[in-house]
Structure 1
Amino acid sequence: MIEAARRKAYGLALRTRRIADREYHFLEEHQWDSRDRILDIQKERLVRLLCHAYKKVPYYRSIFENTGLWKAGDVDLTRFNQLPLMSKAIIRKNFEALKSYDLSARRWFYNRTGGTTTGEPFTFISDYEDGWRSGGAVLRWMNGWHLIRPGDRELKLWGLPLDLYDGSFSLRSRFSNWASGVTFLNAWRMSEESMRRYIHILNKTRPRLLRGYVTNLYELALFAESNGLAVHSPTIICSSGGTLYPHIRRKLETIFCCKVFNHYGSREQHNVAAECSHFDGLHISAFTHYVEVIDENGVSCPEGIEGEIVVTSMTNYAMPLLRYRTGDRGSLTEELCKCGRGMSLLKKITGRSMECFRTRDGRIIPGEFFVYLFGVALDTGIFSKLQILQKDFDRVLVRAVPGVRDKPEAALEDEIRCKIRVVMGESCAVDFSYEQDIESLPSGKFLFTRCEMETGGSSLLDGSK
């Protein structure tokens, strides 16, 4: 009876958020439209955003005129790919000019991210409507492809900074999590003891959806297997925050006895693409995002050719980020999925790589911890690029490309050491190396975190486990 009341209350709460509910029903209605009709809707929404950007965002006015995107009082979409690419460095340099003139009339907030792919922490602005539409509504829609409904039990293996630094969830947050059916497990505290407890919670709550960072889901599966632990089989697993390699998918499906679906998004862009049950690729949310794949010269890649993924979110009017460089790599296909949905597909996604660190007492520290640390908790803007290396159980090296100054103050270095030792242990030595640039791998991937010990995180990449 309590469970039924909880689900009903949550369903009613969703419907009161009218913008998100309206967007959700729009997505449900139009996902089965023809490819041409979906592209028309996408163009309409993109033009609307571009008109807003020209009229109300100072940064874009001269750029639109110089590229010919704005001509005779209207948008010429054929010139869209002539716009310069947006990057974190440009956002930092032109932050005030990228704000919309009507910001005071919007409900907005500062959003901080660590840049998992490029290693560049930065701050930008989002409005709440952006989160409701490309965040909540799109996620609800994508979950529905697998018959996951609002209020269904979900176990979320996610980064929880509150548990490390700020105490615990507020009463309001705890009530919201209860009403929505979501139970959070801290992906930043992956010791043997915590993983045993997480599996107990999984078996007790019996969620329909298990969602988490790919590295943590994989480590949890390996732990259950090596310890002979029985685990509840959810309806689906949703993996995000890294590359879902074939050997990881196979392991997760073997241990949890359910299908695993890849999900692509980011803090900057929310929910960009996801797999359906036909696994023909990741359906792009074409109603909320415009996705390009470009080569090293900025030219669109032919179908099936890998390049850098560039995304324009069409729902953030507070600070439009047009042609935003994700740093991820992938390829597009013009093929239609067998499910019948008309959206374009990302055939594959590569280039997002983070390795886990390990402590001497067996705890596993996911790369996402360092994304949060440098992108949110210590968002100073002083670093333009970062890479965190584990040299030994008790030694971490922070490679950094300085931003506005040659190097940070000693007090900031001490604060970084203190926060890293919260998870790595008090005996961990944290050294700093300030460099002009940090190289990517030959494949083009950038490892934000890298474990250089023989027992490190490379197994995620090579499938040795």
Structure 2
Amino acid sequence: MLNWRAPVLRVYDTWISHNPIPGYCSFLHEFQSRPVSRQREEQYERLSQLLRHAARNVPYYRDVLAATGVVHGDHVNLERFRQVPELTREVLRTKFDLLKSDDLVSRAWYKNSSGGSSGEPVTVLQDRYYNDMGQALTGMHHSWAGRGFGEPFVKLWGSDRDVLFGTVGWRNKLSNFIRNQTFLNSFDLSRQRMQNYVRVIQRVRPVIIEAYAESIYELARYINAEQIKLPPIRSVVTSAGTLYPFIREEVTRAFDCPVLNRYGSREVGSFAGEREAGAGLKVFTCTHFVEILDEAGEPCGAGEEGEVLVTCLTNYAMPIIRYRIGDRAVVAAAVSTPTPSVEKLATVTGRMMDAFLRRDGSTIPGYFFVHFLGVVHKSGWLKKTQIIQQDYDSILIKMVTAGQPPEGALEEIRSSLQRVTGTACQVNFEFVDAIPKLASGKYRYTVSLVSRPPHSTSAVQ
């Protein structure tokens, strides 16, 4: 089929909107074609530039980088980089103003909030360069998955507005049409919705599908149980959740194509992705610097598992340096000089999510609740949550708070959640001093105590 969108979009992006993203995407492709030694040199230079900026313009790092000897004037000593204290969610909250760059007035910046994989809400500032490079990274990874510019694409994703109000606005709809993108709401995977989504995929005939890992797993289980035939798809890309082997197997069988994993977070963006299914996630070294540390805080070697630390090289509005992301991963390839870093992840092992079940066997992704409480209802009084499905119509939300909830806040959360869970669902709250960690060091922020029923095998017309 003739892809008329590709030349139209190139003209529009280049000459009308002056969109920098296609140029950044070309740069990233060129970067990946360089010898590994040159890629490392570029990464070290970009890291050094970020550290110089932080030392000059960020109050928190002005003191830290001088005290650790990492930056002295214009000189950067990367051999001392590991002396920089790790950045945690608690530091982001308590030192927020000190972490902002002094030159924000000259930057197109915005706030972004994340529930985080530990269930701890956090807010960061990001800038236009970070956002544009992030979209370029996604475009590059889509090209690895087999999508050409303007080819049909389906994204099984979600947003608070989609869930609560059922609309994305006419501007987004027009943009999605021009760019040949179809968005499906992953926060509602009822049986009827999955029937509709299958029909959309059969009609749109996307070259790739991108989805939350657990959402595409639920759709794949449905497709396999119903023995539904789909048009050829080049790849499925998963993110926003751990791509466990059983998920990859189920999705591969349903869509008859490779399943590629991409890894990131709202605070630092995507920073690693698979080029070949099951071959490990290549770190996007042009835009990120990644470390994996063991329990003693020492760098992990190939085959070892530890906690993930990320330095984002593109966000100058609020530099995120040695950020403890809250996940665990296994190292596939690493370098030791001038400072230890990871260039490839074998797998990501640390995210814990349970999907909540409805009586009809449909599910609500666990990520929805983290997104909902950490982003939609982001507020300074809520520090940490754990959401437990006790029965089909009973949810308990454990909360660690910084103070009394604002008047009406709990009822607003309850009524908003019932838009998705159903009005019969009882949503109760329990205030606790702490939520125990798992042995892995992570919090299990969603727990379903309801047994999962098998899918029906009735045919879909």
Question: Which TM class, normalised by the smaller chain length?
Answer: over 0.9
How far the C-alpha of 1:315 sits from its partner, in A, is 0.3
Aligned twin of 1:195: 194
Amino acid at match of 1:127: D
How far the C-alpha of 1:17 sits from its partner, in A, is 4.4
| 1:180 maps to 2:172 | no
User: 3-state SS of the aligned residue for 1:380?
Assistant: coil
How far the C-alpha of 1:29 sits from its partner, in A, is 1.5
| 1:447 maps to 2:444 | yes
User: 3-state SS of the aligned residue for 1:447?
Assistant: coil
How far the C-alpha of 1:374 sits from its partner, in A, is 1.2
Indicate how the Cα distance of structure 1 residues 58 and 260 shifts in structure 2: closer, same or farther if over 3 A, else same: same
Q: Quick one: distance in 1 between partners of 2:357 and 2:168?
A: 27
| 1:129 maps to 2:146 | no
The equivalences for 1:309-458 within 5 A come to 309-334=308-333, 344-403=343-402, 405=403, 407-409=404-406, 411-455=408-452
Amino acid at match of 2:376: A
Aligned twin of 2:102: 101
TM-score (norm 2): 0.92
Q: Quick one: distance in 2 between partners of 1:278 and 1:160?
A: 27
Deviations 1:266-289 (A, max 9, x none): 111222111112643111100000
The equivalences for 1:299-318 within 5 A come to 299-318=298-317
Amino acid at match of 2:418: R
**Which residues of structure 1 form unaligned runs of 5+?**
337-342, 460-465
Amino acid at match of 1:113: S
User: 3-state SS of the aligned residue for 1:318?
Assistant: coil
Q: Quick one: distance in 1 between partners of 2:146 and 2:225?
A: 32
How far the C-alpha of 1:437 sits from its partner, in A, is 2.0
How far the C-alpha of 1:49 sits from its partner, in A, is 0.5
How far the C-alpha of 1:167 sits from its partner, in A, is 4.8
Indicate how the Cα distance of structure 1 residues 302 and 228 shifts in structure 2: closer, same or farther if over 3 A, else same: closer
| 1:36 maps to 2:33 | no
Indicate how the Cα distance of structure 1 residues 123 and 335 shifts in structure 2: closer, same or farther if over 3 A, else same: closer
Between the aligned residues of both structures, percent identity stands at: 36
Amino acid at match of 2:94: K
How far the C-alpha of 1:103 sits from its partner, in A, is 0.6
The equivalences for 1:130-279 within 5 A come to 130-133=130-133, 135-277=134-276, 279=278
How far the C-alpha of 1:199 sits from its partner, in A, is 0.4
**Which residues of structure 2 form unaligned runs of 5+?**
336-341, 456-461
How far the C-alpha of 1:456 sits from its partner, in A, is 7.9
Cα pair 1:290 1:312 within 8 Å, conserved: yes
Amino acid at match of 2:148: R
Aligned twin of 1:340: none
How far the C-alpha of 1:383 sits from its partner, in A, is 2.0
User: 3-state SS of the aligned residue for 1:65?
Assistant: helix
Cα pair 1:350 1:445 within 8 Å, conserved: no
Indicate how the Cα distance of structure 1 residues 197 and 442 shifts in structure 2: closer, same or farther if over 3 A, else same: same
Q: Quick one: distance in 2 between partners of 1:75 and 1:411?
A: 51
Amino acid at match of 1:120: E
User: 3-state SS of the aligned residue for 1:86?
Assistant: coil
Deviations 1:410-438 (A, max 9, x none): 51111111111111111111111222222
User: 3-state SS of the aligned residue for 1:333?
Assistant: strand
Q: Quick one: distance in 2 between partners of 1:362 and 1:331?
A: 34
Cα pair 2:115 2:371 within 8 Å, conserved: yes
Cα pair 2:154 2:181 within 8 Å, conserved: yes
Cα pair 1:355 1:450 within 8 Å, conserved: yes
Deviations 1:53-86 (A, max 9, x none): 1101111111111111123542211111111111
Deviations 1:320-354 (A, max 9, x none): 11111111101222389xxxxxx921111111121
User: 3-state SS of the aligned residue for 1:145?
Assistant: helix
Amino acid at match of 1:88: R
Cα pair 2:114 2:267 within 8 Å, conserved: yes
Count of aligned pairs between the two proteins: 447
TM-score (norm 1): 0.91
